[in-house]
Amino acid sequence: MIEETILKIEQRLRNASSLPDEKRAELLDLLTKLRRELDEVPETHAEQAQSVTAFADISTHEATRETTNPDLLDISLRGLESSVSDFEASHPKLVEVVNHLATMLSNIGI
């Protein structure tokens, strides 16, 4: 399920006509890092990892819409950041990647 969501996000980024090529490449690189970090999450935290990818998907959707709704983008980004908070001590790299992803998506949506 997580891999399917990440593939969906990749497709959304590749198809986002409003996204500059440089930002697209950077976001796709972050997505690769996110995938790698989520693979490191133990099976006992699978539900939390699914939450992270779900909020990443929603945030990407909101940031790459033709007409961005700043309120929806903000809500989705707060959800993304919140979903990763339990991983802060055990998976600091995951938190770093998600924070960078959220910042980039926020900047794109402005």
Number of domains in the chain: 1
Query: Residues 27-55: pLDDT tens digits?
Result: 999 999 999 998 888 887 888 889 999 99
Structure tokens at 82: 């919140």
Residue 110 clears pLDDT 60, i.e. is over it: no
Half-sphere exposure of 49 (CA within 13 A, CB side): 22
How far apart CA 110 and CA 86 sit, in angstroms, is 28
Domain assignment of residue 32, given as a range: 2-109
Structure tokens at 3: 């891999």
